[in-house]
Each structure stands twice: as structure tokens, then as C-alpha cells.
Chains A and B, each alone.
Chain A
Amino acid sequence: MIYQNSKVILEVRGLCASVNGIEILKDLDFTAKSGEVHAIMGPNGSGKSTFAKVLAGHSAYEITSGSILFEGKNLFDLAPEERALAGVFLAFQYPIEIPGVANSQFLRLTYNTVQAQRGKEELDPLEFDDFVREKMKLLEISPDFLDRNVNEGFSGGEKKRNEILQMALLDPHLAILDETDSGLDIDALRIISQGVNKLANKDHAIVLVTHYQRLLNYIVPDFVHVMDAGCIIKTGSKDLALELETRGYDWVSAEYQANSKTRSAGMGV
């Protein structure tokens, strides 16, 4: 939802990032304000997931230029765990399995770590159990999630639900959902989307990275961005997603290239 007097949560300017010497993000600009839901779409290999991981601070990516401000703070000054504690949350495209570690323990540790950072009360195992079960009801998650090891042997849909559960627990200021919809059946998609919608509020921003328009039937974005070759080449309303669904991405790229030719030609004059 677009609110008046909303504050800027994320401001990305001229971001360039590479992995193993190959430039993936090229001069990327992006702004998200509180309350807004942004969808980033684009063909495979356009840099969407890289952008999500760079925001979270993944060490595989080298930032070559540009800036990222998160609530006014320079994100590059913060280690990945400090970013998380500051309120940046990434729902992983491929959530990692942690054998031997009970989900309940993991969830409590992450919850308490973030609570401590915010100067809020930490919960003991019994209190936490009550608390997390409430959240799980909201997301229609089976109670056996707590006893299983973190993501170990989870189906694709269960892993994604576990991500959204963590998001619900941590109450992040910026939630980046990296292809959370891929590999989900219709029911799972509906449940997860409802979960995200319940968590969306006027103080937080949500960035959805997705391939498919269908997610956007459930989570209605305020802005749809098309990413190609490492930068955002078009921004529109939710209708843009519908148009992409019928026409594909090629026309957007063509339009962008034509425009940029005009731009450079113009500059040449």
C-alpha cells in the first residue's frame, strides 16, 4: 500500500556487483518506502536473486560501486548478521537444511537474538512454544514442524512455509522474498500469500522476487519492476505484471534499448 508521509526503507543507487569477476548487477537503482509492496520480475539470469543476496550480505558477491542505504544506514558497514538484526529479512529461494538442529531451538534462538537487539523481552522455551504455535496457526503449519530438524527432509512447500514462519517471528522492516512462490502448489501459494499479507503493514516494506504473475493475484504489489541484464529497465503498476504474463519480456527489453539509444543519441547532440 502506498501511504502519504511514508519513510524511505531502502535506497539503492548505482549498484554494481560481480561474482568471480563477472558483473551481474549494473548500475541498479531501487527505492522502497514503508508500507509498499514491490515485485521484481524478469527473465532467468537477469540478476534478481543476486540483488536479493547482495542486500542480505552474501559473501560470494563483490560490490564494485554504488550505495545501499537501509533506514538511512549504510548497509555495506553491516555484516550479514547485523543486517538481519537491523531488520533485513531474506526468505531464501532454496532454504538451507541444518541436520541435527531442532527447528524449535533454531526458531527460538533467532527470535531471542532479534528481540535482545531490539531491547525487547526474550522468551524461555515454554513461553516461546505458545508464541510460535500461534504464529504457526496463522500460516496453517503443522505442529510437527517444531520437532523436526531445520528444513531437513522438508518438502519444497514446507521449506517455504518455514521461511515465512521465520519472517512472522522476526517482524522485519524489510522482507525480501526470493522466489518464495516457485515450486508451490495452489493451496500452498494461497496460504503463504495470506501469511505475507497479514504481516504487511504500514511500517514495513516487502520486496517480492518472482517469475510468475500468479503470486501477484494473491499479494497485490504497489510497483512492478522488470529487471534485465542487472538493472531495472521498467517500472509500472500491478497491471504491468499482467501485460508481462501475456507478452513476455522481450518487448520491454526492446523498448529499453530503443530508449537508451535515443538517450545516448540525445547526449551526443
Chain B
Amino acid sequence: MTRAIEQPLETDKLVLNFGPQHPSTHGTLRIIMELEGETVTKATPEIGYLHSGFEKLGEDLDFNQYITITDRMNYLSPLCNNVAYALAAEKLIGLEVSQRTEYIRVLMCELSRIADHLLNVGMLAVDLGAMTAFLYGFRLREDIYDLFEIATGTRLTTSYTLVGGLMRDIPEDYDKAVIKVLDEVVEGVDEIETLLTKNRIWQDRTKNIGVISKEDAISYGISGPMARASGIDWDIRVNEQPYSSYGDFDFDVAIALNGDVFDRYLVRMEEICQSVKICRQALEKMPEGDVIVDPGLGYSLPPKDEVYNSIEGLIYHFEVTMPNRGMTPPVGEAYVPTESPNGELGFYIVSDGNRTPYRVRTRPPSFMNYSIFSKLIEGHMLSDAPAILGSINIIAGELDR
């Protein structure tokens, strides 16, 4: 039996500042929300709290040095950034790399994709209250970090690729270590799905929240799992000219139709399984060969034992690294789009013939994906804001550059 209220309550608008320092772990975002009761009527995001001048730095560092800067952009999957930059520089210069390099790059990109999606699902779960999925995801991520450490030397900021190849080859028994981790990832994904997918609370909090329609997705420039969850059938590895030998692998692309938070979660979980498939195929079919292009061309550093033991190696090393020499790329520009875990990541490099690029621009998927947030949150309640933020996968380093 409800008591009738004679006059409806008059409420004032409350302006809430979801400040740049906040408990949810998405990085330095600020959202100024206007609330009527619990419902959000308007949300204005403000970004720029991590702006570090990456693009200005690119004009002072040469092509190989900038690779160390690219891993600080999307720091959850740094190998994807390294590969994307190396592809853009190689297209500008016109270098062809060996097939072994391309297969190793694919393997590393897919491992990073698994790591990124695991963290994103873990973050979404922690923000909605399910702490266990976060701990499971992190345990698997530590195993993937061990793999990166064996191949590249560090856990997070790897700087693995060079213009023309890779820093060094993968060691001898690497495939056994990778296959062991892949089996654990498949089991771990099963555990996370058991906890979350059929869970009544999870479904209530994520279904029909933050729905993006197909036309909105194209107009706002959204790409990656967010666009595929709204029904857009576009994956750069498949629909465009496949880069870095992706055409040799057999995998499916996950698409969902509703475009809400639950669909984006499902698309990401399915992409983890597809990435495991690609990794297994890459390890089976790995060709033999060199991982670095001929140093005589003047673009890549020769291997260290040649530098120390032969005069040609030493001369090529100096030709690339000394300040008054360095590589001489042609005058022109190149843009290469790649499929990163967040969407379309591309590097647009303009060169004027000097050893440093004239302009390096990153096409940041988080920036485009985040611009739709103010439209998505209108009409929802305040507690849906973490769910929507978590499903967009905002990485502040890429957003602000």
C-alpha cells in the first residue's frame, strides 16, 4: 500500500565532480555530472590530465628511439603499439621484413590482446563489485608477463620491434612455455565465465546499459570490440589487406547485436579464445629465418656480435646511430591502421628526409571511443557510470598522449 504524495518533490540539480583522482582505476579522467536525484541528466568529460607531449617528442627522436615512447601509450598491451609503429615506418621507407619476423609479431600482438582483455574484464568486474574475477585475471596476466620477460627482457615497457625487424629472436624452448600458458588461459577464462556470464547480478547490471546503435558507432568513429558489439562487421585483420601475414591464420571474428555492456564483455571473452587459436597456429607454422632486415641498407641496427666482431657491423652501427649520420628515409607520409585490442590504432608518419620524423601522429582508439560517453550515460543512473566506463576500456596514456 503506497502513501500518496500530494505534491511531487522539487529537487535541485546536483553537480557531481567525478574527479581526476577517483577510486575506480581507469586513470586520470574527470567527469562533471549533473544529477536529478539518481539519474544523470548531463555528463561532460574532461581529459588532458596525462598530456605529456608525445607528438612533440617524436620530432626530436629518431625512428628507432621513438619505439621506446610508443610503449608508454597503451601500457596494457605495449607490443601492439610497437608493431603498429614499426609497420608505419616500414611502409614509409618501403622495407620488406622476413616472414619469421611477421609471425613473431603476430604471436606477440595476440598475447598482448589476451592480456589487455583480461585486465579490462577484471576492471569492469571490480568496479561492479566482483573482486574475484580481477584476481583471476591478474594471476593469468602475471604468467603472460613472464613470457614477455623471457623474450624481450622486461614485463611492461618492452620496446621489442625495430624498424626492419625485431630487437632479438625468441629463445629455443619458447613454444613450450607459451603453450603451457595458453592452456592455463583457456582454463582461467572458463573460470571467469562461470563466475560472471550466467550470474543474475551481472546480467542485471550490464544488460541494456549503454546501448550504442550502428549509425552512432560509425558517426562517432568507434572501432574495435565496441563497434563489433553493435553489429558492425569490421576487423582490420580480416576485412582490409591483412598486414603482417594475418592472412595465413584461420580465425573467426566475434560480433554481437545489441550493443550494450554485456555484449562488449562477451565479445572480449570470445576474442581471447580466438587469440589463443591464432597463437597456437603461429607456433606450429613458425618459419625459419632472420629477424632483422639487412643492416647494409642503413635502417636497422646490426646484431651485437657482428658489431663487436666485424668492421662492417661497427660501421653500420655508427651509420644508424651517430647524430650527424642516421637513416635517410624518402620524403612522404604513411598511415597504417592495425587492430589493437581497443580498436583501430594507426600511426601517421610524415618524413622530410631527415633522421627524425617531421610529424608522428597516433590515431588513438580510446580517444574516439570515449567521445560517445556523454551520450551514453544520459538517462541512466549514477551507479551505471562505472559499468559504462569499464566497458569502453579507456587507457589514459593513449587518450591524452
Q: Is chain B a partner of chain A in the same complex?
A: no
Binding site for B on A (CB under 8 A): none
